[in-house]
Amino acid sequence: MSEFAFELALCARLERDRDAIVSRQLGTAVHDRRILDTLLVEPGPGFDERAAITSERIPPPAIESDVGPGSARFWKDAFDCHPDRARSLVEWAVDVGFFERERRAGRTYVRQTTRYPDDWFDRIVGIENKPDLGRPGALETQLLTDVTLALVDEVVLATESHVTGAHLNRIPEAVGVWRFDPETGERTVIRAAEPLATDDAGIEIVARDSARTEIRVATAAEKARARRRVAERAYGKGWRTFELPDCAHIAPDDDGLPYCPYKDQIVRPATDCGPRCAGHDPADPPAGTGDSLRAARTPWEPDPAGRTRRQSGLDRYVDD
């Protein structure tokens, strides 16, 4: 089974088992670039307030701007960036229902439709998927970075391989290890993950070789900002980011995974499907079930009431 199929099978299993937002392929760095394969974002006390705003991602710069739910502010004064960028952020925030606008003397002012609940998420669990431990690549450095940065609350390695003591000795002790069978969905905890110090400053490894290691410090405030951005991205993105192919053979399984009977496996539509496939039979893609499955199995709300109190006609203007 491919790493892609392994990842989707694990996401499907976690979606069934955990009361959390499940997402995949998200950046979890502060200064550098690090993509974690799978993330679980567990609800916090303010989750229902967040879910009531929008089913989509709220743009982090809008959350971090000088716009609040009180007095409306002139839109250009609310962002510390180029006006074109500020304009696009206002449009985005209005579109998802986080900002509302009003006109005063020919100028556009914005305010939050509701106060953003910073406590909407609790723990974030990061999972690195490595089905075959015989081909570890940069796994050791990646996991060490995750632990020393401590952006997520727990780090787990998920594998299909038999896990030996030698494997465990090569990864940080704080990293949990799961053995996962994607065919049966059985998950065995080989080693429990240790909680990481997310509230403290962290050390991010930005380069490492046999001779030297380059690091940068991430402050507690920088980490808190990055955690909120990761959580928002996870909420809006989910994990079914693939499009089902336009082929008569595709037959999504009960988890909405792109199973192909012709190839007898889960396929990656972007690379495995299309006219280059010998079994390609053009047809309309199957009706999507991803959102309905996500809504039924996770706390995500697909169609919230929203908080916007938009005045008629005013949502067309962000021009001066």
Q: What is the pLDDT of residues 107-127, one digit of tens each?
A: 999 999 999 999 999 999 999
Q: pLDDT higher for 227 or 207?
A: 227
Average pLDDT, the chain: 92
Asked, for residue 9, whether it belongs to a domain, the answer is yes
Question: At 320, is the pLDDT very low, low, confident or very high (cuts 50, 70, 90)?
Answer: low
For residue 61 the two structure tokens come to 């710069």
Under 8 Å CB-to-CB from 53, ≥6 apart: which residues? 96, 97, 98, 113, 114, 304, 306, 307
Residue 312, pLDDT > 60, answer no
Provide the 10 A C-beta neighbour count for residue 165. Answer: 7
Residue 35, pLDDT > 70, answer yes
Please report, rounded to a whole number, the percentage of residues in the chain having pLDDT higher than 70: 95
Q: Which range, of 60-69, 132-141, 245-254, 271-280, averages the lowest pLDDT?
A: 132-141
Our CA angle for 289, 294, 295, nearest 5°, is 100
Asked, for residue 32, whether it belongs to a domain, the answer is yes
- Give the pTM: 0.90
> In Å, how far from its chain's centre is CA 233?
5
Residue 165 half-sphere exposure, CB side, CA atoms within 13 Å? 0
Please report, rounded to a whole number, the percentage of residues in the chain having pLDDT higher than 90: 86
Total domains present in the chain: 1
Q: Which range, of 151-155, 189-193, 241-245, averages the lowest pLDDT?
A: 241-245
Asked, for residue 187, whether it belongs to a domain, the answer is yes
According to the model, what pLDDT value does residue 318 have? 53
Asked, for residue 53, whether it belongs to a domain, the answer is no
pLDDT, tens digit, 9 for 90 and up, residues 285-294: 888 678 999 9
Asked, for residue 279, whether it belongs to a domain, the answer is no
According to the model, what pLDDT value does residue 287 have? 80
Determine the 3-state secondary structure of 193 from DSSP: coil
Question: At 131, is the pLDDT very low, low, confident or very high (cuts 50, 70, 90)?
Answer: very high
Asked, for residue 300, whether it belongs to a domain, the answer is no
Q: Which domain holds residue 184?
A: 3-47+118-237
Determine the 3-state secondary structure of 232 from DSSP: helix
Question: At 305, is the pLDDT very low, low, confident or very high (cuts 50, 70, 90)?
Answer: confident
Asked, for residue 148, whether it belongs to a domain, the answer is yes
Cα-Cα end-to-end distance for the chain: 55
Asked, for residue 23, whether it belongs to a domain, the answer is yes
pLDDT, tens digit, 9 for 90 and up, residues 238-261: 999 999 999 999 999 999 999 999
Q: Which residues are registered as beta bridge partners of 127?
A: 38, 156
The identity of residue 202, as a single letter, is G
